Amino acid sequence: MSAESTLLYLDGVSVSFDGFKALNSLSLVMMPGEMRAIIGPNGAGKTTMMDVITGKTRPDTGTILFEGATDLTRLREAAIANLGIGRKFQRPTVFEPHTVWDNLELALKAPRRPLKTLTYAISRDDRSRIEEILDITRLSALRNRQAGSLSHGQKQWLEIGMLLAQDPKLLLVDEPVAGMTDAETEQTAELLCSIAGKHSVIVVEHDMSFVRALGVKVTVLAEGSVLAEGSLDAVSANSQVIDTYLGR
């Protein structure tokens, strides 16, 4: 497949930490607007994969191209984020001393240079965009609450909201429903599905029912490389996947 038409293109990416191979010649391709679920046992390299895409970790070898042209392995985190790659961490990290509104305002797509932010004044468009996201994430009533005082689920949602505000072309979402109630999990699945199409999304998740609810193509990682790829039903039937991950 040619790299040009892809959104994200990983080829032969390897990372090792003190001899331990976290990623072993990993290859993965994402098309624009696609949504993908990544599953795999602990230590399969899911988080490391996110790290190399977002620039937190430099790969030892391999190519990572964004939109078929930009080499991500040479860029720093902030530059990668500004290309349009957003990331949500496993543990929700919102800015606790700030209000919900300020959290979204910080995330909102806008010039990121210090002098621009020093003189930044919120515009009408920006305000309505934040209002919109507050609606989507059901946080409208809590807009002036300190983010630190939100419940765990609300923080997860705020963080997803912040990702939306960033308006990235590609979202990397790490275990978005960890610690959520069933109802919240369902709502989150709906939310993610609704944003796919406009954005490409990679979801890393352990919760099988959640992955099923997403109903998207699944990639199974094991020991740093791709074990299987396809619909959830197809990979669930794969004997290798059963051995290494799902269990008998």
Partner 1 sequence: MLLRFFLMGLDRKAGIVLTILAVLAVAVPVMTLWVPADSPFHLSVFTVSLLGKYLCFALLALALDLVWGYCGILSLGHAAFFALGGYAMGMYLMRQIGPRGVYGNPELPDFMVFLNWTELPWYWWGFDQFWFAALMVLVVPGALAFAFGWFAFRSRVTGVYLSIITQALTFALLLAFFRNDMGFGGNNGLTDFKDILGYDIQADTTRVALFVATVAALALSYMIASGVIASKLGKVLVALRDAESRVRFMGYDTESYKLFAWTLSACMAGVAGALYVPQVGIINPSEFAPASSIEAVIWVAVGGRGTLAGGILGAVLVNMGKSYFTGALPELWLFALGGLFVAVTLFLPKGLLGLWGQLTAKLPRRNKTAALPNVQTANQTAGQKGA
Partner 2 sequence: MRRALRWLMALYVVVATSTAAFAADPRATDLRPLVQALGSGGYSGTEKALAQLSEAGDPAAVPVIEALQSGDLFVRKADGAVVIARKAGDAYTLTDPLSRAALGDAPAAAVEKIRINNALRRAISASLGALTLMSPDAGVRRSAADAVFKSRDAQALETLNAAIAKEQDTRIRAAMEQARAAILLTGEAASKMTDAEIQSATDTLTARGDRDALVLLNMVAGSGASDVTKKLAAAAVSTLEQKLAFWAALQNLWYGLSLGSVLLLAAIGLAVTFGVMGVINMAHGEMVMIGAYTTFLVQEFFRAYAPGLFDLSILVALPAAFIVSGGVGIVIERSVIRWLYGRPLETLLATWGLSLALQQAVRSIFGPTNREVGAPSWMSGAFELGGLTITYGRLWIVIFAFAVFAALLVALKRTWFGLSIRAVTQNRPMANAMGIRTARVDALTFGLGSGIAGLAGVALSQIDNVSPNLGQGYIIDSFMVVVFGGVGNLWGTLVGALTLGSINKFLEPYAGAVLGKILVLIFIILFIQRRPRGLFALKGRAVEA
The footprint of partner 1 (CB under 8 A) covers 54, 56, 76-79, 81-82, 86-87, 89, 93, 95-99, 101-102, 105-107, 112-114, 117-123, 127, 143-145, 162, 166
Binding residues for partner 2, total number by CB under 8 A: 5
Q: Single out the residue of 3, 11, 12, 60 in contact with partner 2 (rule: CB under 8 A).
A: 60
Asked if 73 touches partner 2 (CB under 8 A), the answer is no
How far is it, in rounded angstroms, from Cα 169 to Cα 3? 17
Neighbours of 48 (CB within 10 A): 22
Neighbours of 221 (CB within 10 A): 26
Residues 177, 210 contacting (CB under 8 angstroms):
yes
Tokens of 92: 């929700």
Tokens of 103: 């959290």
Tokens linked to 134 = 């507050």
Selection from partner 1, partner 2, none that 18 binds (CB < 5 to 8 A by kind) is partner 2
Q: Pick one of 11, 12, 16, 73: the residue that binds partner 2 (CB under 8 A).
A: 16
The first and second tokens of residue 243, run together, are 């051995």
Amino acid occupying residue 240: Q
Closest distance of CB 241 from partner 1, Å? 30
**Sole window of 10-18, 149-157, 217-225, 234-242 interacting with partner 2 (rule: CB under 8 A):** 10-18
Binding site for partner 2 (CB under 8 A): 16-18, 58, 60
